[in-house]
Amino acid sequence: METARGVVLATERYGSAESWKYFAKDAVMERRRDGSKCESRGNSIVGAFKSVFLPQGYPESVSDDYLQYQFWDTVQAFSSSLSGTLATQASLKGVGVGNQEATVAAATITWLLRGYPLKYTTHVCNSSTVSATCKLIVFSADGTGMLGRILFAWQKGSKLDSEAKKWRLFADVLNDIAMFMEILAPYFPACFILIVCTAGIFKSLVGVAGGATRAALTVHQARRDNMADISAKDGSQETLVNLAGLLVSLMLIPIVTDNPILTVSLFLLFTVLHLFANYKAVRSVVMETLNEARLSIVLKGYLRDGRVLSPLEANQREPVLLEFRKTVPIKLGVRLQEVVESPEDLNLALKENNMPYLLGVRNGCVCVCLGPEASVHDEIRAMCQAVWLSSKLSPPTSRDPPTQSNWEMVHESHKMMDTIFKPFLKGVEAAGWDTTRTLLDWDEWRVEWKTKNH
């Protein structure tokens, strides 16, 4: 192809962001940006910024919600940085910074404890020697923080994948509560240790929940097996935000020093901004994998309207706040004895059932026992039945007491799924959901059972 610039020898592009052409004219090859005469300085600066702070191949290498999420994540990180500055100032004041009686030993211990969840506990050490009481407090601060992290990870570790949005928001709310406690602690000297230790335990939980859910969201955002790149660029973005927060904090500290009313007022302002930004951030995430909440929303919509909601529609309706359940809880991947307690119960569980899982209702829970050969589609179907059973047994329907026994409802759920599941699954896939994997919270028990015919 020949143009005024010469013959086009080749074209090249860098993702969807840039396109270039090579021209041959007078035996010379020239490279020019497609659609412009030359590369402007502005484009060069923007390109360099993207290269430093955005994942390689952006936007094709990340999920569609990446930019919106990162914008709100940046806002919340900036406001959290300022809130943290105010909390740190208050805590340092509480441990005796500025007090002539404070010793080098106390300041050293305070500095060392900065890296641990329970910090700023050395105000009792402001004497010429580090007392036995101070050493005990240091040990307690360190130990309880570590124990809190271990216990929380043990109890809620699997939920951090399946309910990443809820626990992400929970972590930020808890972090704000902990910082507020640190700000108030100096004004309650008699309870200072108790307050900051409690705040430290909260922060230890924040560290587990925040880090784990961030990893879960990175898995969602990565579209080219580029989790490490996304995580690294997220770290660069956070560092830039913290640098901006540091500059603002340097101007803010002289203003708020010795002004507790202004300190608390600014903290509350930054906290409101932080929580709002976090809410918008988790609301902007559109996950295409099914967890219990999203599958429940999609299934109930299908049973009501005959239409499968898209990932965007379902994610907009998904609750992001931790809630006290009023529905009958669902347990997935349980032991056989949690579903049946006798050979007769096993026969009842197998009735109308030709699937590699068993359902039962025991102790106020819908329990699902999974066979080792169950596929991902079988898991989705089992969850659909469990959701339907849970809704039938939930308190709102108690005004109309069920006329069926639990086993009769289980048998009815099998018949219903035989009718609707195939078209429902087809609609789910057509709507853009990923059915090759799920975020359903299955435990690891797998059971092989003998059928009643044997």
**Which CATH number covers residue 174?**
1.20.1250
Which residue did the predictor score with more confidence, 211 or 182?
A: 211
Any domain includes 449: no
User: Do 230 and 86 belong together in one domain?
Assistant: yes
DSSP-assigned letters across all residues of 369-432: EE-TT--HHHHHHHHHHHHHHHHHHSGGGGGS--SS-HHHHHHHHHHHHHHHHHHHHHHHHHTT
Lowest mean pLDDT among 16-25, 130-139, 291-300: 130-139
Q: What is the rounded (10 degree) CA torsion for 372, 292, 428, 354?
A: 40
- The label of the residue with tokens 């360190």 reads 142
Average pLDDT on 151-156 reads 89
Any domain includes 399: yes
User: Do 263 and 412 belong together in one domain?
Assistant: no
User: Do 212 and 303 belong together in one domain?
Assistant: no
Count Cα neighbours of 98 within 13 Å in the Cβ-side half-sphere: 9
Q: Among 258, 284, 310, which residue terminates a domain?
A: 284
Which residue did the predictor score with more confidence, 155 or 308?
A: 308
User: Do 278 and 338 belong together in one domain?
Assistant: no
What is residue 30's predicted lDDT score, i.e. its pLDDT? 83
Residue 35: pLDDT band (50, 70, 90) is low
What is residue 130's predicted lDDT score, i.e. its pLDDT? 45
Range of the domain at 31: 2-39
What is residue 454's predicted lDDT score, i.e. its pLDDT? 43
Where b means 16+ CB within 10 Å and e means fewer, 158-172 reads ebbbbbbbbbbbbbb
Any domain includes 101: yes
User: Do 21 and 131 belong together in one domain?
Assistant: no
Q: What is the rounded (10 degree) CA torsion for 250, 252, 255, 259?
A: -120
Instruction: Give the model confidence (pLDDT) of 333-350 as tens digits.
Output: 999 999 999 999 999 999
User: Do 154 and 256 belong together in one domain?
Assistant: yes
106: pLDDT strictly greater than 80? no
User: Do 84 and 201 belong together in one domain?
Assistant: yes
What backbone phi and psi angles, to 5 degrees, belong to 357?
A: -155, 160
Any domain includes 87: yes
Question: How far, in Å, CA of 271 to CA of 252, rounded?
Answer: 16
| Pair type for strands 28-33 and 18-25 | antiparallel
Give bridge partners of residue 358 from the DSSP assignment.
Answer: 369
Average pLDDT on 92-97 reads 62
CA-wise closest residue to 223 among 4, 435, 434, 6: 434
What is residue 132's predicted lDDT score, i.e. its pLDDT? 54
DSSP-assigned letters across all residues of 282-317: HHH----B--HHHHHHHHHHHHHHS-PPPHHHHHHH
113: pLDDT strictly greater than 50? no
Q: Among 236, 267, 284, which residue terminates a domain?
A: 284
User: Do 29 and 73 belong together in one domain?
Assistant: no
Any domain includes 18: yes
User: Do 167 and 205 belong together in one domain?
Assistant: yes
Any domain includes 358: yes
Distances (CA, A) of 191 to 121, 214, 261: 11, 34, 20
User: Do 131 and 263 belong together in one domain?
Assistant: yes
The helix (run of H) or strand (run of E) holding residue 155 is helix 132-156
Question: How far, in Å, CA of 48 to CA of 398, rounded?
Answer: 62
CA-wise closest residue to 390 among 325, 333, 438: 325
Lowest mean pLDDT among 30-34, 52-56, 371-375: 30-34
- The label of the residue with tokens 């506990």 reads 121
Structural domains counted in the chain: 3
List, in order, residues 6 or more apart from 227 with CB less than 8 Å away. 218, 219
36: pLDDT strictly greater than 70? no
Any domain includes 447: no
Which residue did the predictor score with more confidence, 198 or 127?
A: 198
Which residue did the predictor score with more confidence, 454 or 427?
A: 427
DSSP-assigned letters across all residues of 50-83: HHHHS-TTTTTTB-TTHHHHHHHHHHHHHHHHHH
What is residue 107's predicted lDDT score, i.e. its pLDDT? 47
User: Do 271 and 373 belong together in one domain?
Assistant: no
CA-wise closest residue to 163 among 362, 301, 296: 296
Question: How far, in Å, CA of 79 to CA of 241, rounded?
Answer: 10
Any domain includes 216: yes
What is residue 80's predicted lDDT score, i.e. its pLDDT? 93
What is residue 116's predicted lDDT score, i.e. its pLDDT? 41
Instruction: Give the model confidence (pLDDT) of 365-407 as tens digits.
Output: 999 999 999 999 999 999 999 999 999 887 654 455 556 789 9
Lowest mean pLDDT among 67-76, 89-98, 315-324, 327-336: 89-98
Instruction: Give the model confidence (pLDDT) of 199-238 as tens digits.
Output: 888 888 999 999 999 999 999 999 999 999 999 999 999 9
The radius of gyration computed from the CA coordinates of the chain, to the nearest angstrom, equals 29
Residue 138: pLDDT band (50, 70, 90) is low
Average pLDDT on 423-432 reads 97
User: Do 203 and 119 belong together in one domain?
Assistant: yes
DSSP code, position 452:
T
